[in-house]
Structures are given as structure tokens and as C-alpha cells.
Chains A and B, each alone.
Chain A
């Protein structure tokens, strides 16, 4: 469990590509710059997709982790 406090949470559990990235884009548009989005995913593709998406879009991947097939990302909006 992370100590990071998220401003918003997106749970994509059970969904697969392209939905986690599609829904992350939508969720990120709803928060303000500097705020943190917590993303929960079970699609292993997000392990590469989310860090790469952050790099391209100017957001900061603050922390990520995986436990029992559940992947957690904390992304600060740029």
C-alpha cells in the first residue's frame, strides 16, 4: 500500500487494451495539473503502456507496483 494520497481513482480491473489507456486519458482530463490519479489495472499490457503514456503526455509516474495480479499506478498530472 502506497503512502501517496490520490485525488482521484480509476479502476480498470478486468478490462484490457485499449480500455485502460482510453479511460486513463478521460480520467486525466477531469483532474487539475498537479493532482494525482491512482490507476488500478489487471491488464499486464499497462505495465509498459502507462509508463510510456506518461512519458509522451508530460505526466509523472510517481509510483507503481504489482501485487497478486493487481497493478497500481500513481500519476501526477503535468
Chain B
């Protein structure tokens, strides 16, 4: 049970004091340690440019510096109550010398440390510049001076009393437990606040205050002893929002609807999978997962050129200059765009980790590959293509650093699959199937070239004459990305689109990143269905 107010007063601490947990982190600006000021404080700018200067003096042709002050608060309820608070300072300097990058990062904000990092980053770059020649051309971007941006949030989660949050989350558990067959397996939420400063040798200086929130609530349904299904409540995916992620939506309605869906699911007769090729309707979540795992990954330009070959792998779009503008990657109905500006998008920022203001760009237009995800360095690799189309050679703003203590890496922006023109939703698409399958919440395993995939899921329904008539056990899908997207027969309309927050890991050392994918429901023909548990 939660602590009562009476017990609290007995302990002699006021509720107000509890809400404002004092910040422990300190920085050095020259005299002694001081509590870290808000990110717009001019002394932080001084520190940042001290690192830039040190690197410049040591011989770098380009330097950028990121300082971050990160706070995170996580709540984990259900079986135990665990509340974690972290607060960190990080700083990192990236320097370019003769086409080679060096990076140095740490956790101390002091003038001495800025100088050390600046020199260390250059030292790293110089050591490799002794080797074979390498060229880096950074696509231009405007110099931004003294600009600031903050994620617009309705309710700052760090100003909400932790009591209120625990009470609210516990309330969800009691709400679910009204039905003895249901319980809340996971009940987690995490709030992150990053204050970051970016400084560059071209004089750019900008600051951002970025909020990111994510929740997980998993319903466990035990229709009979020994049988259990567990599905997560939708709508709590990572997003650049505050406490309104929970409070701003009718979460209890969602939970009740999900409980109803679970009951309906269980009532359907069970059938084993019958291998073959089927027309399939996917829900928005499945389509989002499919687009992310195939085109979302294959159009990362660094991946396409082999820079991730030693880690996650490569891309089937492996000849960008030859393929751009002509290669048909999908049915003409498919248009895929990227942005880092949609309100609440998990990858939404005003400026990326290189100070670029990301633009909205079209990756696939009417089924044809038209662009790749880029950073300042990689945009230059497509210069020939951009100039041929009269487009500026510019980064699309996909540089992301997990913290100041990580070097910027190219990551996915928010991806958007344009919906179809007719107002069809998932149920409408299912009604259009004479004989086939309807699948919700598909899980995807791709190969290391983003080419062949295996789809799995619990929610696979046999559809006959437009109605789900059975649930299928053990079904898996085998697909190959180009054939899958060319087999698209219908896209849901704008009313069927949903947004999901996805977490990805990339790089060596690994960095965690988040982005949103917005997609409609969709129907495909001739999808290969196998018995996934069957051995050869």
C-alpha cells in the first residue's frame, strides 16, 4: 500500500518538500562547485566554447561540443514499487583533423576538463590522420547563435508529485483487478528530461530542453487456469510529451476495450496454421513495424554503404546513387517520409546533434526510392544526385547522440507512411477479404541486410467472407522486403493511422535511440504463411 499522509507528517517532512527533490549535480565555472544552472546560463556557453577553442588551437578544422544535463525518473509498480531517480552531467567533444574524427567524453563540467577533452579529441583524430587519406565534406547548414527550444509539454512530469503518479498507476491496477481474470503484469513509466547545449567551431550555439516519456502497461488475462495471454495497452509508447501521455488520453477506456478484445480473442475457436499464401490485413502497429524494419533500416545511408557491416549489418539498397530516383521499392501507393518536427514525435527536436534543423523529406514517393536518411557527412555522399535534381545538398538532420558522452551517430527520424485516400480502417479492410488472415501486433525478425523477414505474433485470425472466424496458432510469415511492399493492395485511410514509439540500438559502442513511426492499417496479397514452430 502507498504511504499515508499521516505517516508522512509523523516523519516530519512536508508533502511540498517531497515534491521538489533537490538537484545534486554541481558544475565548476571557475571558483568553486555550484549547482548546475539552467541550460541557458551564459557560463555554460563559456565552458562549451572553451572546449571548442582548445580543440581549434590544437589544430582541428571542425569541432562540435555537446553538454547534457539529464534527469530521469522511473516508476515500476505491480509486484514491487520501485522509484528510481537519476541525474547526470555529460560532455563530449568531436574534432575533425584531415578527414579523421576524434572524440573525447566525460562527466565533469569544468574549464580544465573542457580543455582536456578538446585536446584529447584532436589527439585521437591526428593519430589516425597519419594513415591513408580520408576526406570529409560537411554539408552546409546555417549558423545558429544563441537560440533555445523546449519540447512543448502540457504537464511537466518532474513538477508532479511522485505521490500523484504512484497513486494514478496504482489506480490502474485496481481498475484492472475489478475483473478477477485480469491483472496488470507490467506497470511502468519513465520520464526523461534533457537539457543540452551545442557549440560549434563555426560559432553556432544553441540549447534545447527536451522531454521524453514512455509507459508500459501489460494486461494479463487468465481465462482458464494454466492459460494466460498478455497484451500491452496501446497509447503509452515513447513520445516527446510529459505526464499528459497518461492524463491526456482516456486510458481506462483503452484498458476496457483491450480487455474486451482479449475476451473476444479467447472465444474464437483455435485452428492450427495451414501453410500457404494468403491475403493479409495488418493493423497499424504491424505496418509500422514492417516499414521500420525494412525501409526504415535500409535507407540509413551509413548502413547502406557498409559502415554498420560489423554490427547490425548492411542494406539491400546497397547502390544508392544508382537506385535513387528509379528503383521501385514498393507499390506506387506507398509514400514514406521522415521528419523530426511532428509534435510529440519520439525523435522530435528543433536541432539535431550537429546543430542542423531537420527537414521533412521523402524517402519513398509513389513506390520509388527518392532519398536516404543523412547527416552532414553522409549527405555529401549523395551530392551528385541532389545536384542532378536541383536540390540543395543538406543533411536531413538525422544525427543523434545518446548523451554528451557519446559521439553523434546517424539514427532514424520519425517515419510517416502516408495513408490511403479512402477512409478505410482496419475493420473495413478485413471486411474486404474473402479468404485470408487478419494480423495485429506483428513481431518482426529481419536478416542482417534488412531483406528477408520473419513475422510472428499471437494475434493471427482466419478471415472468411470479411469476418474473423478463428484464431491461428503457430503462424509465421516469411517475406522479402521488395516483394512484400509491391504486394500492397490497400492502405487504410487517415482515420486508421496510429503512431508508435520504437527503440533501436545501433553502433559500436551501442547507442540507444528512439523515433516514432506513424502508419495506417494495410492489406497485402500473396503473403507466405508458414508453421513457425515446425522444423525442416
Task: Note whether A and B form a binding pair.
Answer: no
